[in-house]
Amino acid sequence: MQALRSKARELLATKTVQVIIGYASGGGGRARAVFVREAAKADALVFDDSCQQNLAVYFSKPEVRKLGKAALVATPAALRAILQLAAENQIAEGELLALAVGGDDVVPLATFAAIEAHVAARDGDWSAAEKEELQKYEAMGLEERRRFWEEQFSRCLKCYACRAACPLCYCTRCTVECNQPQWIPVPAHDLGNLEWNVMRAMHLAGRCVDCGDCGRACPVNIPLHLLNRRLIREVFTVFGSRSGRSAKGDNALSTFKPNDPEDFIQ
C-alpha cells in the first residue's frame, strides 16, 4: 500500500498523469472508487482484499476521460479489460498507465505490450471453487436450471447496474434505450428480464473478461457473472479464443474459421 501511495504521489507530482483512479475506504469495510488529482491526497489510496471492483469501467466514461491522462490501479481483471478495450479500439497506446498491484509491489505498465506480458505471466484457469460453481449448475437438469433462472430473473429490477458496472458495456446509446421499436421492454417483468439478460450475455460473448462485477453490482444478488462465465468457456472450448489477452485481434464473434464446428446444423 505504501508503495502504491508513493508511486501515486510521484506520478501526480511529476504531472506524468492528471488523475489516479484507485480504491479508497468506503463504509462498512468496503472499498469504493476514488479519483485522486493532487499528490497530497494520495494517502486516500488503499489496496486490500476488499478492492475487487474493476476500475477499468471508469475509463470508458467521458467525464473521466476529460480529466486527462489517468493511472489506473489495476487488478488482474482490470488489466484484461484494458487489453480488450484496446483490441476494440477504445483506448490508444499511451492514454493510460496501468498500475498492477500485487502484495506490496506496484508495477507500472505503460504500454500494451507490457500489460500483455504481465497478464500472460500470471494467467491461469479458473480456481477450483469457480469451476465447481459452474459445474453445480450444469449438473442440474434442464428443467431445474430453467426454474432456477426464472426465480432469479423474477427479482431483476431492470436497474441496469450490471451494465453500468461492466467496463465493456460502453455503447453511448445502449440498445435498450432505443424505443422505435422498444426491442427490450422497460418494465421489470419475467419475459423482459429474460430478454435483457440474454442480450447482455450475448453482447458480451467473446468480450467479457470475467471480472465478476456484474454479479457483484446486482442489488438483488442474481449471479449474472455465471452467464458470462458459461459463454467464456463455450468460446474457449469451441473456438479457442480468450478475450483480454491481447491488445490486437478480433473478437471471437467477429471472426470465423472455415471449419468451425457445425454438428448441430442439419
Partner 1 sequence: MARIGVFICHCGENISATVDVVKVAAEAARIPGVAHSVEYKYMCSDPGQQLVKNAIKEKNLTGVVVAACSPRMHEPTFRRACAEAGLNPFLCEMANIREHCSWVHEKGEATTQKALDIVRTLVAKVKKNKALEPIKVPVTKTALVLGGGIAGIQAALDIANSGHKVILVEQAPSIGGHMSQLSETFPTLDCSQCILTPRMVEVAQHPNITLHSYSELESLDGFIGNFKARIRRKARGLDEKLCTGCGLCMQKCPTRKIPSEFDAGLGLRPAIYVPFPQAVPNKPVIDREHCTYYRTGKCRLCEKVCPTQAIRFGQEDEIVEAEVGAVVVATGFDIKHGDFFPEYGYGKHQDVIDGLQFERLASASGPTLGEIRRPSDGKVPETVVFIACAGSRDPAKGIEYCSKICCMYTAKHAMLYRHKVHHGKPYVFYMDIRAGGKMYEEFVRRAMEEDGVQYVRGRVSRVYERNGRLVVKGVDTLLGARPLEIEADLVVLATAGVANAGAEELAQKLHVSYDAHKFYAEAHPKLRPVETNTAGIFLAGACQAPKDIPESVAQSTARRRRFILPASAASSARAPAPTRPSRRRSSAAATGRWSRPWPRSTRACARAAAPAWPSAAPNRSTSRASPTRRSMPRFWPCWNEVNAMADFNPKIVAFVCNWCTYAGADLTGTSRMKYAPQVSIVRFPCTGRIDFMLLLKAFAGGADGIIVSGCHPNDCHYSSGNFHARRRWVVFRGLMDFLGIDVRRVQFSWVSAAEGAKWAQLVNETTDRIRRLGPFADYQRLRGQGVG
Binding site for partner 1 (CB under 8 A): 137-138, 142-150, 181, 183, 185, 187, 189-192, 194-195, 198-199, 201-202, 205-206, 226-227, 230-231, 234-235, 238-239, 252-256, 258, 260-262, 264-266
Name which of 174 and 194 has its Cβ closer to partner 1. Answer: 194
Helix (H, G, I), strand (E, B) or coil at 75: coil
Name which of 105 and 143 has its Cβ closer to partner 1. Answer: 143
Q: What stretch of H or E contains 71?
A: strand 70-74
Alpha-carbon distances of 207 from 18, 166, 233, 253, rounded to whole Å: 29, 11, 12, 9
Name which of 167 and 206 has its Cβ closer to partner 1. Answer: 206
Interhelix angle 128-139/225-239, rounded to 10 degrees, is 90
Quote the least distance from Cβ 104 to partner 1, whole Å. 40
Q: Is the Cβ–Cβ distance between 64 and 21 less than 8 Å? A: yes
The C-alpha cell that represents 88 in the structure block: 476494440
Quote the least distance from Cβ 84 to partner 1, whole Å. 17
Quote the least distance from Cβ 44 to partner 1, whole Å. 41
Name which of 113 and 140 has its Cβ closer to partner 1. Answer: 140
Quote the least distance from Cβ 10 to partner 1, whole Å. 45
Q: Is the Cβ–Cβ distance between 211 and 54 less than 8 Å? A: yes
Quote the least distance from Cβ 120 to partner 1, whole Å. 25
Name which of 15 and 183 has its Cβ closer to partner 1. Answer: 183
- Strand-by-strand arrangement of the 70-74 sheet: 31-36, 19-25, 70-74, 96-102, 105-109
Quote the least distance from Cβ 102 to partner 1, whole Å. 33
Name which of 40 and 238 has its Cβ closer to partner 1. Answer: 238
Q: Which amino acid is at 118?
A: H
Q: Which of 265, 263, 242, 260 is nearest to 252 (CA)?
A: 242
Name which of 36 and 224 has its Cβ closer to partner 1. Answer: 224
Quote the least distance from Cβ 138 to partner 1, whole Å. 8
Q: Which of 7, 71, 62 is nearest to 34 (CA)?
A: 71
- For 153, residues 6+ apart whose C-beta sits below 8 A from its C-beta are 190, 193, 194, 197, 222
